[in-house]
């Protein structure tokens, strides 16, 4: 199918883009990478009367900044650029670990990470990563600018708390503190398909290789990303004394995933358990091989 007719806008500054969004409000959509928006428009699941193309705003929206605290990206940073950035991978490894699972290289070459966050697909990888790391999104409008924590940003499937006149201009992925390790994986029918279930894990150990904290977030299991805190289950326990199979059972018993034509609810619970067992072990092993201030 072809998209419905729309008026195309190509602003030259962020301020101009915000003016267009303020003028047309509910009738406007922002185009960045277009890897999610264009297909849904072609299927006529979305029919914006005005399309605001921000791809000319590279001077204002293409920053990729890495410091001791984490990684900040502008709205026009492509998945592929972030995935290949060595400094970002060293500081917040979970970002690169998850990006490798985003669709296919062709999609990652064009799609933007902030755009994926704004799309708020519960089957997407990066919303889960942002939630697990406790990051945030910065939104701007003619009314001003606000910082939105990941816990508040996602409000439903394919729905964020962004106002119709707001533009998500950047996202912040903080680095975990202390001696940490991370892991991410997902299970799909084919590589590049949406995951039947995916998971990210952040494990923090002390110098005695005992757990300080352990958190996990799942893909394709909830309407919005949900962080499961396993810290009280493992706190003070040495890495090699933890029953990882029991952790998988703990997670399986605390989730209520939907069933659909791709996987039943019971199968998704099983996959969540399998991924928990595997990834908690992998994340802790990576924490053991790193020291505070030198992440791997």
Out of 157, 174, 191, a domain closes at 174
Residues 28 and 71 placed together within one structural domain of the fold? no
Please report the sign of the dihedral spanned by the C-alpha atoms of residue 146, residue 149, residue 152, residue 156: positive
Residues 206 and 251 placed together within one structural domain of the fold? yes
Residue in the block written with tokens 């290289």: 105
Residues 287 and 197 placed together within one structural domain of the fold? yes
User: Do the Cβ atoms of 224 and 258 come closer than 8 Å?
Assistant: no
| Threshold 0.85, pTM exceeds | yes
User: Do the Cβ atoms of 59 and 81 come closer than 8 Å?
Assistant: no
CA 254 – CA 236 distance, rounded (Å): 22
CATH number at residue 216: 3.30.390.50
Out of 15, 38, 53, a domain closes at 53
Residues 64 and 161 placed together within one structural domain of the fold? yes
User: For residue 159, what pLDDT is reported?
Assistant: 97
Specify if 204 maps to a domain.
yes
Residues 44 and 62 placed together within one structural domain of the fold? no
How many domains does the chain fold into? 3
Residues 188 and 234 placed together within one structural domain of the fold? yes
Residues of the chain with pLDDT under 70: 291-296
Pairing of strands 50-53, 7-9: parallel
Specify if 142 maps to a domain.
no
Pairing of strands 167-174, 179-187: unpaired
Specify if 1 maps to a domain.
no
Cα dihedral 233, 235, 240, 244 in deg (nearest 10): 20
Nearest to 71, CA basis, from 175, 168, 147 = 175
CATH number at residue 31: 3.30.43.10
User: For residue 117, what pLDDT is reported?
Assistant: 98
Residues 102 and 46 placed together within one structural domain of the fold? no
Residues 226 and 273 placed together within one structural domain of the fold? yes
User: For residue 293, what pLDDT is reported?
Assistant: 40
Residues 66 and 167 placed together within one structural domain of the fold? yes
Residues 95 and 46 placed together within one structural domain of the fold? no
Residues 218 and 258 placed together within one structural domain of the fold? yes
- 33-90: per-residue pLDDT in tens? 999 999 999 999 999 999 999 999 999 999 999 999 999 999 999 999 999 999 999 9
User: For residue 291, what pLDDT is reported?
Assistant: 53
User: For residue 292, what pLDDT is reported?
Assistant: 44
Domain of residue 18 covers: 7-53
Pairing of strands 227-229, 211-219: antiparallel
Residue in the block written with tokens 């084919």: 190
User: For residue 73, what pLDDT is reported?
Assistant: 98
């Amino acid at each position: 199918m072809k998209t419905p007719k729309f008026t195309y806008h190509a602003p030259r500054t962020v301020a101009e883009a915000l003016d267009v969004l303020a003028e047309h409000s509910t009738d406007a959509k922002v185009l960045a990478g277009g890897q999610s928006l264009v297909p849904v428009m072609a299927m006529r699941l979305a029919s914006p009367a005005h399309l605001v193309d921000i791809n000319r705003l590279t001077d204002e929206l293409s920053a990729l900044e890495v410091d001791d605290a984490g990684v900040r990206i502008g709205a026009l940073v492509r998945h592929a650029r972030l995935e290949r950035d060595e400094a970002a991978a060293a500081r917040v490894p979970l970002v690169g670990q998850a990006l490798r699972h985003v669709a296919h290289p062709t999609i990652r070459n064009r799609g933007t990470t902030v755009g994926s966050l704004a799309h708020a697909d519960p089957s997407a990888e990066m919303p889960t990563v942002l939630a697990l790391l406790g990051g945030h999104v910065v939104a701007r409008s003619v009314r001003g600018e606000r910082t939105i924590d990941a816990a508040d940003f996602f409000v439903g499937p394919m729905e964020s708390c962004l106002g119709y006149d707001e533009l998500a201009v950047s996202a912040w992925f903080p680095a975990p503190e202390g001696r940490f390790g991370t892991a991410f994986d997902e299970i799909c029918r084919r590589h590049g398909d949406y995951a039947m279930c995916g998971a990210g894990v952040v494990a923090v150990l002390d110098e005695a290789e005992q757990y300080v904290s352990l958190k996990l977030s799942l893909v394709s299991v909830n309407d919005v990303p949900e962080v499961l805190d396993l810290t009280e289950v493992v706190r003070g326990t040495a890495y090699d004394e933890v029953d990882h199979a029991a952790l998988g059972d703990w997670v399986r018993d605390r989730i209520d995933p939907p069933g659909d034509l791709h996987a039943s609810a019971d199968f998704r619970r099983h996959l969540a358990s399998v991924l928990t067992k595997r990834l908690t072990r992998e994340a802790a092993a990576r924490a053991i091989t790193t020291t505070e201030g030198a992440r791997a």
